């Protein structure tokens, strides 16, 4: 038995979770799951057994038993469970300034796309990305003291070429020069990739759906809707304090990586374009594996990131300073055992990659300059005030010396100190000294307190404490502190509006200004899909021998149509249910609102009545109200609570309906295609 353990201290390693696709033909004899013990045992029949090699399909005949340790196993887990366990933390950490990556790896048809987006599936089956967006905007709403900016990119790597899945958005720049991976300040980004500001959950979901519509998919024997490319949905966050005087802010990027599935051509029966795509997919996955191996090798100074677009783009997203989670999607079918072992071997390698997330805290130089300017202005003002005070005192002292003034009006230690600092002291008028220095004060004056000694005599303050420069500056600091705060408040009011369309580095660090990439995916990819699970039909679908319209439609109805119709109908039903709930709740909210208004009027009337009779108070001075008023206040409070809860639910429903509508549109579009 080969025991594959995850590397040492798991807290500083990439986290690896396994998700098992439900299968009617689950290999119970061969795969033993132990979700509690977080381990998975695979036992593959030894060579020479009853089964044919292709049935066993297992390439490595040295080993027949495998044991894998993981960070957790999802078996029969709902999408929500998966999100709560591995997705939610990435959003929370992202808001705190930590980069995160969640990546699905596995053979074709194992459920990677189902896990990441869950697109074209039913509402309750929506995947990590839509759930993460929903969570993100709820957090943003709750953190009212922070200004959080969300920007989104959606990249596709198809046949080792990068494409912008959002190039078709109305505010995208026209496709120009090809996309280029650029490294800056230790971070990686793609020059020319459109970066979209998403100010609400709806805007963010629109971007997701737009990208989903554009990505390349095709059918083969193992998956009717197989992704033919790697896609990376990236959310860039910038979190700033709403007080503009705070020049510190954090940035982060969260990647949702849906890798294309590895496939054995014998099994997928891919031909032509789909076969060529498969060869690119397998090659890039093998580069990914090489990169991961290099990352786990001690004393290795070169990691071959640049071998492929995928590894280069993910350079700062696999372990290192990034919180990385790998979901190994496995298909527990008897016929997929070899792929399951190979997925688990990759997962085990990933679990040895070091990952020590670091906070991306930055300082905004422009705010820093503003703060310093405000401080300089405050200090200048204080200096001016100080000079005026000295001038006025000098005049008073002069008038006192001249005998025009009986007393010098001294109200603070500072003024007394200033008087002693004036060169016209001591006065020539005997017996008229307003402040006589106490004995021993000279001891408390340091050598730097120039001006605190006059005529060789030491001076001090009246209450016996020394008043050197330190004492004075303490007072000054307090005053300037107060002044600065009001200045900061003024500065905070002047927040600059940010432009909606961003064509720079998503983290705001300049660059990335070249034009966008060629749009979208090849529509042939989806046309190929028609009827290809049947080899004859697949051959008919090859370029040059198109099936007749009727034949194609019949095939389509049989193979995909009915399935898509079913999904379409389910999506429609979910949407209608939600709309119904929305409309019922909306009328309930209106009724509650009317009741609140009524209750308020009633309370006003009761108050007027009470005041007319004369208010009564308890011994502690609390107002006494009668039971009727008390009950009405309680009722109003309950009404308000219920109004708030219903209103929040309404908002949630609105977003969900929007999501369902998008899914209906997508499914309908699929049907037309």
Ligand X SMILES: Nc1ncnc2c1ncn2[C@@H]1O[C@H](COP(=O)(O)OP(=O)(O)OP(=O)(O)O)[C@@H](O)[C@H]1O
Among 165, 219, 260, 393, binds ligand X (CB under 6 A): 260
Contact (CB, 8 A) for 615 and 621? no
Distance in Å, CB of 259 to ligand X, minimum: 7
Using CB under 6 A, which of the segments 164-172, 195-203, 224-232, 423-431 binds ligand X? 224-232
Residue 304: CB atoms within 10 Å: 13
The residues with which 151 forms a beta bridge, in sequence order, are 197, 236
Distance in angstroms (rounded) separating the CA atoms of residues 166 and 519: 8
Residues whose CB falls within 8 Å of the CB of residue 283, separated by 6 or more in sequence, listed in order: 160, 308
Location of structure tokens 């503003």: 370
Nearer to ligand X, 218 or 517 (CB): 218
111 among annotated binding-site residues? yes
Q: Which range, of 130-138, 222-230, 594-602, 656-664, touches ligand X by CB under 6 A?
A: 222-230
Residue carrying structure tokens 């009779």: 613
Tokens, residue 366 = 């422009």
Rounded to whole angstroms, the Cα distance separating 38 from 471 reads 65
Is 112 annotated in a binding site? The answer is yes
**Helix (H/G/I), strand (E/B), else coil: 257:** strand
Q: Is 226 in the site for ligand X (CB under 6 A)?
A: yes
Token duo for residue 266? 């014998």
Nearest in space to 660 (alpha carbons), one of 563, 565, 569, 562: 569
Considering beta carbons, is residue 21 or 662 the nearer one to ligand X? 21
Residue number with CB closer to ligand X (230 or 487): 230
Q: Which residue number, 484 or 567, has a Cβ lying nearer to ligand X?
A: 567
Q: Name which of 35 and 45 has its Cβ closer to ligand X.
A: 35
Where do we find the tokens 């090489």?
A: 290
User: Across the chain, how many H-helices and E-strands are there?
Assistant: 19, 23
152 contacts ligand X (rule: CB under 6 A): no
Q: Report DSSP letters for 615-660, one per residue.
A: -EE-TTSPEE--HHHHHHHHHHHHHHHHHHHHHHHHHHHHHHHHHH
525 is in an annotated binding site: no
φ and ψ of 426, to 5 deg? -80, 160
Calculate the alpha carbon distances from 25 to 29, 157, 160, 196, 526 in Å: 11, 33, 35, 44, 28
In the complex with ligand X, which residue's Cβ is closer, 337 or 397?
337
Closest CB to ligand X among residues 226, 317? 226
Q: Which stretch binds ligand X (CB under 6 A): 139-147, 219-227, 416-424, 530-538?
A: 219-227
Instruction: For the CB of residue 108, give the shortest distance to ligand X in the complex, in Å.
Output: 4
- Residue from 94, 106, 427, 520 touching ligand X (CB under 6 A): that is 106
Contact range with ligand X by CB under 6 A, out of 106-114, 437-445, 446-454, 554-562: 106-114
Does the annotation flag 109 for ligand binding? yes
108 is in an annotated binding site: yes
The binding track of 440-479 with respect to ligand X, each residue x by CB under 6 A or -, is: ----------------------------------------
The yes or no reply on residue 47 touching ligand X (CB under 6 A) is: no
Q: How far apart are CA 415 and CA 396, in angstroms?
A: 11
Q: Is 110 annotated as a binding residue?
A: yes
CA distance 252 to 316: 12
Instruction: Between 173 and 225, name the residue whose CB sits nearer to ligand X.
Output: 225
Q: Select from 149, 227, 317, 449 the one that contacts ligand X (CB under 6 A).
A: 227
114 binds ligand X (CB under 6 A): yes
Query: Using H for helix, E for strand and C for coil, what is the string for 159-215?
Result: CCEEEECCCCCCCCCCECCCCEEEEECCEEEEECCCEEECCCHHHHHHHHHHHHHHC
Asked if 111 is part of the footprint of ligand X (rule: CB under 6 A), the reply reads yes
**How crowded is the C-beta side of 64, counted as CA atoms within 13 Å?**
9
- Tell whether residue 110 is a contact of ligand X (CB under 6 A): yes
103-111, 397-405, 450-458, 490-498 -> range binding ligand X (CB under 6 A): 103-111
Among the residue ranges 102-110, 153-161, 235-243, 383-391, the one whose residues contact ligand X (CB under 6 A): 102-110
22 near ligand X, judged by CB under 6 A = yes
- Contact pick of 39, 70, 101, 108 for ligand X (by CB under 6 A): 108
Under 8 Å CB-to-CB from 230, ≥6 apart: which residues? 156, 157, 257, 258, 259, 260, 281, 284, 310
Closer by beta carbon to ligand X, 212 or else 238 = 212
The C-alpha atoms of residue 446 and residue 507 are separated, in whole angstroms, by 52
Decide whether 51 or 282 has the Cβ nearer to ligand X: 282
Site for ligand X in 288-347 (CB under 6 A): 329
Q: Which CA distances in Å does 21 have to 76, 107, 115, 262, 329? A: 8, 11, 10, 16, 7
Q: Does residue 113 interact with ligand X by CB under 6 A?
A: yes
What is the greatest pairwise CA distance in the chain? 125
Identify which range of 92-100, 108-116, 361-369, 396-404 contacts ligand X by CB under 6 A: 108-116
Judged by CB under 6 A, does residue 17 bind ligand X? no
**C-alpha span between 388 and 305 (Å, rounded):** 67
The nearest distance, CB 329 to ligand X, in angstroms, is: 5
Q: How many residues touch ligand X (CB under 6 A)? A: 18
Q: Which is nearer to ligand X, 21 or 131 (CB)?
A: 21
d(CA 453, CA 142): 60
In the bound state with ligand X, the residue whose beta carbon lies nearer, of 231 and 502, is: 231
In this chain, which of 112, 196, 253, 323 binds ligand X, going by CB under 6 A?
A: 112
**Residue 400 engages ligand X in binding (rule: CB under 6 A):** no
Q: Whole-number minimum distance, CB 77 to ligand X, in Å?
A: 8
Any contact of residue 267 with ligand X (CB under 6 A)? no
DSSP designation for 437: P
Residues at the contact surface with ligand X, assessed by CB under 6 A: 21-22, 106, 108-114, 121, 223, 225-227, 260-261, 329
Residues making up the annotated binding site are 106-113
From the annotation, which residues make up the binding site for ATP?
106-113
């Amino acid at each position: 038995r080969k025991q594959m353990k995850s590397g040492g201290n798991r807290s500083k390693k990439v986290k690896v979770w396994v998700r098992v696709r439900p299968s009617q033909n689950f290999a119970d004899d061969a795969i033993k799951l132990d979700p509690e013990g977080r381990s998975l045992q695979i036992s593959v029949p030894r060579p020479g057994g009853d089964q044919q090699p292709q049935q066993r399909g297992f390439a490595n005949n040295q080993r027949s038993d495998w044991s894998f340790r993981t960070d957790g196993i999802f078996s029969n887990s709902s999408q929500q469970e998966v999100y709560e366990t591995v997705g939610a933390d990435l959003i929370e950490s992202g808001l705190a300034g930590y980069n995160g990556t969640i990546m699905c790896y596995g053979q074709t048809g194992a459920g990677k796309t189902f896990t990441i987006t869950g697109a074209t599936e039913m509402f309750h089956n929506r995947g990590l990305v839509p759930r993460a967006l929903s969570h993100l905007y709820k957090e943003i709403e709750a953190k009212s003291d922070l200004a959080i900016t969300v920007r989104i990119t959606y990249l596709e790597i198809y046949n080792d070429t990068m494409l912008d899945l959002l190039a078709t958005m109305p505010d995208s720049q026209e496709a120009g020069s090809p996309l280029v991976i650029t490294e800056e300040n230790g971070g990686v980004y793609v020059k020319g990739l459109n970066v979209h500001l998403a100010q609400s959950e709806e805007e963010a979901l629109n971007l997701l759906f737009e990208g989903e519509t554009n990505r390349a998919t095709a059918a083969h024997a193992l998956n009717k809707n197989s992704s033919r490319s790697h896609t990376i949905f990236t959310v860039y966050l910038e979190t700033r304090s709403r007080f503009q005087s705070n020049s510190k802010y954090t940035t982060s990027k969260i990647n949702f990586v849906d890798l294309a599935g590895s496939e054995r051509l014998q099994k997928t029966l891919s031909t032509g374009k789909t076969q060529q795509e498969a060869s690119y997919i397998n090659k890039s996955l093998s580069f990914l594996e090489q990169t991961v191996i290099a990352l786990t090798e001690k004393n290795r100074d070169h990691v071959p990131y640049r071998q492929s677009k995928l590894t280069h783009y993910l350079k700062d997203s696999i372990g290192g300073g990034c919180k990385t989670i790998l979901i190994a999607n496995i298909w527990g079918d008897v016929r997929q055992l070899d792929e399951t072992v190979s997925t688990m071997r990759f997962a085990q390698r990933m679990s040895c990659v070091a990952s020590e997330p670091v906070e991306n805290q930055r300082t905004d130089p422009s705010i820093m300059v503003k703060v310093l300017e405000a401080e300089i202005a405050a200090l200048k003002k204080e200096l001016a005030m100080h000079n005026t005070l000295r001038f006025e005192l000098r005049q008073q002292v002069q008038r006192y010396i001249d005998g025009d003034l009986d007393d010098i009006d001294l109200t603070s230690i500072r003024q007394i100190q200033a008087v002693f600092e004036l060169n016209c002291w001591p006065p020539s008028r005997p017996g008229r000294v307003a402040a006589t220095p106490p004995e021993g004060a000279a001891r408390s004056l340091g050598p730097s307190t120039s001006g605190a000694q006059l005529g060789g005599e030491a001076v001090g303050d009246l209450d016996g404490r020394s008043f050197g420069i330190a004492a004075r500056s303490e007072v000054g600091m307090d005053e300037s502190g107060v002044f600065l705060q009001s200045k900061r408040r003024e500065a905070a009011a002047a927040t600059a509006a940010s432009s909606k369309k961003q064509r720079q580095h998503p983290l705001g660090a300049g660059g990335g200004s070249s034009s966008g990439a060629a749009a979208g995916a090849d529509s042939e990819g989806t046309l190929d899909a028609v009827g290809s699970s049947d080899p004859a039909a697949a051959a008919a679908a090859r370029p040059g021998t198109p099936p007749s319209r009727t034949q194609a439609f019949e095939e389509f109805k049989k193979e995909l149509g009915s399935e898509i119709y079913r999904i379409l109908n389910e999506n429609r039903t979910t949407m209608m249910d939600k709309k119904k709930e929305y409309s019922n709740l909306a009328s309930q909210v209106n009724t509650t609102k009317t009741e609140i208004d009524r209750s308020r009027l009633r309370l006003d009337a009761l108050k007027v009545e009470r005041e007319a009779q004369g208010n009564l108070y308890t011994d502690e001075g609390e107002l006494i109200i009668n039971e009727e008023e008390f009950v009405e206040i309680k009722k109003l409070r309950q009404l308000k609570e219920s109004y708030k809860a219903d209103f929040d639910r309404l908002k949630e429903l609105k977003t969900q309906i929007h999501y369902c509508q998008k899914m209906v549109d997508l499914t309908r579009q699929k049907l037309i295609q």
